[in-house]
Amino acid sequence: MLSYLFRFAANRLSPAEASAHLTIFIYHRILSVPDSLQPEILDAEAFDKQLKLVKSLFQVLPLPQAVAALKAGRLPARSACLTFDDGYADNLLYALPILQQNAVSATFFIATDYLDGGRMFNDTVIEAVRRAPVGHYDLRELGLESLTLTTAQDRQSAIANLLFQIKYLPQSERSARVLALVERLTKQPLPNDLMLTTAQLLDLHRAGMTIGAHTASHPILATLTETEALADIARGKQQLEAILADEIQLFAYPNGKPQVDYTRRDVELVQSLGFLGAVSTAWGAAQAHDDPYQLPRFSPWSSQPLRMKAQMLRNLRHSVMNC
C-alpha cells in the first residue's frame, strides 16, 4: 500500500518524457558484514534489501541509456540509475552478485591510480585508526588534533575529525601528513586489497556493467591548475579505455560538490574530452533542461524503508545546484 502511494506521488513528481526526473543513486563500498567504524556503509544483506525496495519503486535503467533518454526528453516515469564511485573490490565481490540476482545494471566510476593494490587516503586513515592500540595520541606536531582512542565511538569520531582536517590539503602535503599519522598510530600492515585489480575490473566490465571515469589520482579538481586537472581527467579515461578496449563515455567528479570540489572550468574540461555526460554529488533529480555534465546524485541515508521513501520523494522535489 505504501509503495503504491509512493509510486502515485513519484509519478506526479517524475512523470514520463519531457517533465521526467532522473534519480541517480550513489554508493561507494558494499561490505560483506557491517563495520562498527563505518556504520553508514551498507553490507550485502542491507544492499539487497535496499535494491529490492528501489526496484519496486523505480524503473532502474543503465546510466548511459538514461542520459540519452533524458537529453531526448524520452525518460520513463520514475526513472533511476545506480552508480558506485572509486573502484572498490567489494563492488565486484558483494555488489555484483546482488545486482545480477536482481537483474539490475549499474555504473562503476573508477579512479585508476588505485587499481592493483592502491589505497585511497581516507581508507589509510580508517584502517590505521582501526589498528591503533587503545591510548592517547598527541598529534600536535603533525598539525592535527590529538586523539584518545578507547571505544569504537572514539575511533568513529577520530576518523571523521581526521578526514575533515586532511581532506582539502594539497595532495602532496596530504600524503605526507597521512604517512606520518600512520607511523604514530600503528605498526601493523594496512590492507592492500581494498580496491579492484585490473582482472577484477575486466570481470565487472564483462558482466555487462558500465565503467565510467573518475580521474586517475582522485584529486579535488578545484585545487589543481587547468593543465593538472586536464591531465588527471584524461589519464583516467585513457587508462580505462586501454584496459577495457572500450570507449568511456561517463565521468564522476571526485568528491563532487559543485563550486567546492570542481568548478565550471572542470565541467568544460570534461566536455572537451568527449564524455557524453558527468555526475556530481549535489543532491536532487535531473530534468531534461539540466546540464548533462553535472547530473545530481542521491544517497538515501536511512535504511528504514518508510524514511527512505520520504527521502526519495524529497530528493525528487529538490532543485539542482550547479556550477
Is 95 in contact with 140 (CB distance < 8 Å)? Answer: no
Min separation Cβ 88 and Zn ion, Å = 10
Identify the helix (H) or strand (E) that includes residue 99.
helix 96-101
Is 142 in contact with 130 (CB distance < 8 Å)? Answer: no
Q: How many CA atoms lie within 13 A of 95 on its CB side?
A: 30
236 vs 254, beta carbon nearer Zn ion: 254
94 vs 251, beta carbon nearer Zn ion: 251
71 vs 174, beta carbon nearer Zn ion: 174
Sole window of 6-14, 30-38, 248-256, 293-301 interacting with Zn ion (rule: CB under 5 A): 248-256
Distances (CA, A) of 118 to 14, 112, 291: 40, 9, 33
Binding characters for Zn ion, 71-100, by CB under 5 A (x = yes): --------------xx--------------
Min separation Cβ 154 and Zn ion, Å = 27
27 vs 137, beta carbon nearer Zn ion: 27
Cα-trace Rg, the chain:
20
Site for Zn ion contains 123 (CB under 5 A): no
- Grid cell of 219 as nine digits: 584529486
Query: Can you tell me the distance from the alpha carbon of 271 to that of 259, in angstroms, rounded to the nearest whole number?
Result: 17
3-state helix, strand, coil in the chain (%, to 5): 45, 15, 40
131 vs 235, beta carbon nearer Zn ion: 235
Residue whose CB is nearest to Zn ion in the complex, by number: 85
Min separation Cβ 236 and Zn ion, Å = 11
86 vs 127, beta carbon nearer Zn ion: 86
What residues pair up with 170 in beta bridges, in sequence order?
none
79 vs 255, beta carbon nearer Zn ion: 255
Query: Can you tell me the distance from the alpha carbon of 291 to that of 254, in angstroms, rounded to the nearest whole number?
Result: 18
Sole window of 225-233, 247-255, 276-284, 308-316 interacting with Zn ion (rule: CB under 5 A): 247-255
Task: Work out the end-to-end distance of the chain between its first and last CA atoms, rounded to an integer number of angstroms.
Answer: 40
- Contacts with Zn ion in 165-184 (CB under 5 A)? none
Min separation Cβ 256 and Zn ion, Å = 7
Q: 317 by DSSP, 3-state: which? A: helix
Min separation Cβ 246 and Zn ion, Å = 21
Min separation Cβ 103 and Zn ion, Å = 27
Q: What angle do CA 316, 320, 27 make, to 5 degrees?
A: 70
* Binding residues for Zn ion, total number by CB under 5 A: 3
Min separation Cβ 183 and Zn ion, Å = 26
The residue written with cell numbers 509503495 in the block is 3
180 vs 231, beta carbon nearer Zn ion: 231
Residue numbers at the binding site for Zn ion (CB under 5 A): 85-86, 254
